[in-house]
Amino acid sequence: MEPVTHGITLDAVARFVDIATDALSEAREEIDALNVYPVPDGDTGTNMFLTVSAARDELRAARAADPDLGLEEGMALLARAALMGARGNSGVILSQMLRAYVTHLAGADGEQPRARTIAAAMSSATDASYAAVGTPVEGTILTVARAASDAALASAEGGHARARDVFTAAAAAARAALSKTPEQLDVLAQAGVVDAGGRGLTVVLDAVETTATGRRPMPYTAPIGTHHIRVSTPSSAAVPGDDLTEDGPGYEVMYLLDVAPELEDAAIGVLREELAALGDSLVVVGGDGLWNVHVHVDDVGAAIEAGITAGRPYRIRVTHFAEQVAEHRQKLSTRTGRKVVAVAAGPGLTELFESAGAVVVPGGPGQRPSTGQLLEAITGCGAAEVVVLPNDADTVRAAEIAARTAEAEHAVSVEVIPTQAQVQGLAAISVHEPGRSFDADVREMTATARHARHGAVTVAARQAITMAGPCEPGDALGVIAGDFAVVGSDLDAVATDVVERLLAGGGELVTIVSGEGGVELAERLAAHVEDTHPTVDVAVHDGGQPRYPLLVSVE
């Protein structure tokens, strides 16, 4: 393994990942317990640990197989492994940060001091964390990341700054920002708690500081509680090759471009004009001397010469579209039919989805599937068209990444229906019809899932503040559309309240799914609905899901 001029080696990166994984392993239970919700659904620490450990394991295996593995290859492997191992929103965000960090280090030219290179990589990671969230919310891991990278950049500006100074400044700023998260989110302030994702990031940064300096940071005792970031669902990407035509440009040209900062305003303007005249799908983004160029052209030489005129192009990649389309069609020809991939949170739910023809991936709070597991299910089912039902808000983003990866690398057409609950997934698959066109099937399943009002009944495991008021351990809790809306002392009364609220907007079918210890409760609730709403049909299933004795939907 070769040393590099900026002093960053694959050995150093491997040490960082090892230390961060071990630190998250020690802190995962503490972070999981940071949950303002009264039900122990929080698995932020576990998701972050599994994401980083997946990256570590892949890097270790690759280096064992090839002791001479280079920095660039190792960084690329690490970034992909983190993405494929990402679980839940927190894991996805952390994987994006890790990917951006190592990508920046791999692309560093060695001319900047090591401290500035590392600080810039941290800033790139923060930008990636914000990009991973559709609507950024301050008072979360995003805020902690921004504080850390800003402190890193400020520290690196010193004439004699060292890498260890950058790590120390970043870790200290992250801890300070974490302590202020309750001032930024009412839900945290009400419970007197901090954000779990932010806490996880401080653990990682503390581990990096320890690696660089040998000193252990001051112990941090986090209050109990967290806030879950809602991640928006991105629009579906096109399948590679579908937008190409015989009369369009024949080649895709991509390269990185170094431009003298004092010349880049004029040089980049001219470059954009020249490339725009050569082809289409032009993207030129960057700044501070480093730019990323992408264009579709027929004249590859002219596109590269334009880059040479503007600066120094490198990592040039040219793809012949005819070969790409042929490969896409060849892959597609080996796949047939349509399949549904569904995440199920219990053995009974698994049977329900499988009986409807779905390929099931085990999931649910505490065992959310990774991006890689979802990708394996999508590509392994052998279908040319796949519909994915994540059935959990924290799994939607991982499902989207798996879907886009399957489309890009395996020529599968994939649509993710962003189901937030198991019963929404059941509603969606009940109208699945392989005989329809793919778009029509997805539209019908999506509309049915969206119109299925959903709720649940559970028991509080700890004292907490809910939107329905305070609760104590052992209280019965009613959930409607993901929010705790009912607090009571009797499970039957709370269950009745939940179903009546769901039926207040009308409905023709009530679906009740019993969980662990909820079979008799489900039967009593079904009898209540039949007695009081004789025109409404009732379906009862044994789902076997933990923590929630009842899941309910109204269609």
**What is the residue-wise DSSP string for 417-437?**
----SHHHHHHHHHT--TTS-
Task: Identify whether residues 160 and 176 lie together within a single domain.
Answer: yes
Kindly report the CATH number assigned to the domain that includes residue 486. 3.30.1180.10
Q: How far, in Å, CA of 85 to CA of 370, rounded?
A: 5
Task: Identify whether residues 417 and 541 lie together within a single domain.
Answer: no
Last residue of a domain, one of 213, 238, 270: 213
pLDDT in tens, the chain (555 residues): 333 345 678 888 888 888 888 889 888 888 887 766 666 667 788 889 889 999 999 999 999 899 889 888 888 888 888 888 888 888 888 988 988 888 888 777 777 788 899 999 999 999 988 887 767 889 889 999 999 999 999 999 876 888 889 999 999 999 999 989 888 887 777 666 788 889 999 999 988 888 777 776 655 554 444 444 433 333 333 333 334 444 567 887 878 888 887 888 889 889 989 998 998 767 676 666 777 787 888 899 999 999 999 999 887 878 776 665 555 555 555 678 999 999 999 999 999 999 999 999 999 877 889 888 999 999 999 999 999 999 998 898 889 888 888 887 788 899 999 999 999 999 999 999 988 899 899 999 999 999 999 999 999 988 888 888 899 999 999 999 888 999 999 999 999 999 999 999 899 999 999 999 999 999 999 999 999 999 999 999 999 999 999 999 999
Residue 224, in any domain of the structure: no
Task: Identify whether residues 390 and 425 lie together within a single domain.
Answer: yes
Task: Identify whether residues 470 and 434 lie together within a single domain.
Answer: no
Range of the domain at 298: 251-320
Residue 235, in any domain of the structure: no
Residue 382, in any domain of the structure: yes
Task: Identify whether residues 168 and 50 lie together within a single domain.
Answer: yes
Residue 244, in any domain of the structure: no
Kindly report the CATH number assigned to the domain that includes residue 198. 1.25.40.340
Kindly report the CATH number assigned to the domain that includes residue 257. 3.30.70.100
Task: Identify whether residues 387 and 496 lie together within a single domain.
Answer: no
Task: Identify whether residues 386 and 521 lie together within a single domain.
Answer: no
Question: Is this prediction's pTM over 0.85?
Answer: no
Last residue of a domain, one of 426, 451, 476: 451
Residue 422, in any domain of the structure: yes
> Do 249 and 289 contact (CB within 8 A), yes or no?
no
Task: Identify whether residues 30 and 174 lie together within a single domain.
Answer: yes
Q: Mention every residue, 6+ apart, whose C-beta is less than 8 A from residue 217.
A: 171, 172, 175, 206, 209, 210
Task: Identify whether residues 349 and 411 lie together within a single domain.
Answer: yes
Task: Identify whether residues 315 and 341 lie together within a single domain.
Answer: no
Instruction: Indicate the residue type of 384.
Output: A
Residue 240, in any domain of the structure: no
Q: Mention every residue, 6+ apart, whose C-beta is less than 8 A from residue 96.
A: 83, 125, 128, 129, 131, 132
Task: Identify whether residues 125 and 65 lie together within a single domain.
Answer: yes
Task: Identify whether residues 39 and 177 lie together within a single domain.
Answer: yes
Please give the backbone phi and psi of residue 255, each rounded to the nearest 5 degrees, phi first: -160, 160
Q: Structural domain tally of the chain?
A: 4
Last residue of a domain, one of 420, 451, 482: 451
Separation of CA 31 from chain center? 18
